[in-house]
Amino acid sequence: FYPEHTPTTLISRSRDEIAAFTKGFERVTLKPIDGHGGKGIHFISHGESDAGAKIDEVTHNGSHWIIAQEYLPEASIGDKRILLLDGEPLGAILRVHGAGAELNNLDQGGSANPVEMTPHDLKICAALKEGLVREGIVFSGIDVIGDKLIEINVTSPTGLQELSRFADRPFHHDIIERLESRKS
């Protein structure tokens, strides 16, 4: 799970475990483990009166696993989606929330902006490379807030169109060529 690169995180479906976890932070992000596009994400602030109801909603009363994660205030300025091909970074976009919204996801009204990767972003990519390659994950996207890895997206990472437009390069050709070169 790369704990040296992630904020404090709990994976659970237990209301009691999640409630106890949230007591250690000013604010916590709750998201479905099988979610996408920012759907089903809730935030709990320390001492919030309806925290139990939010936990029950996200976990479907304890029947669905969720990710509870220390909230990172840097999320207010956006998050980076870094796209990787065989663990090597193709580039990044900065996703910024829309007016009146808090989620940076493009599916939730966020916008994509060009951004450069930092040396720390490259360090995170290098740490993930071996595991991604070992698992046969050719194309993936990671989300970084501040200097922390938030998640690894392997089923349908968004941002490829935006990255290609910003870089004026058809990255989808690189991905298809890589996949075709693996055919036996």
pTM of the predicted model, to two decimals?
0.90
Burial category of 29 from C-beta neighbours within 10 Å (exposed 0-12, middle 13-18, buried 19 and up): buried
Low-confidence residues in the chain, pLDDT < 50? none
Left if phi > 0, otherwise alpha if psi is -120 to 50, otherwise beta: which for 80?
A: beta
pLDDT of res. 147 = 95
For residue range 73-125, list pLDDT tens digits in order.
Answer: 999 999 999 999 999 999 999 988 878 777 777 777 678 999 999 999 999 99
Two tokens, residue 143: 């989300």
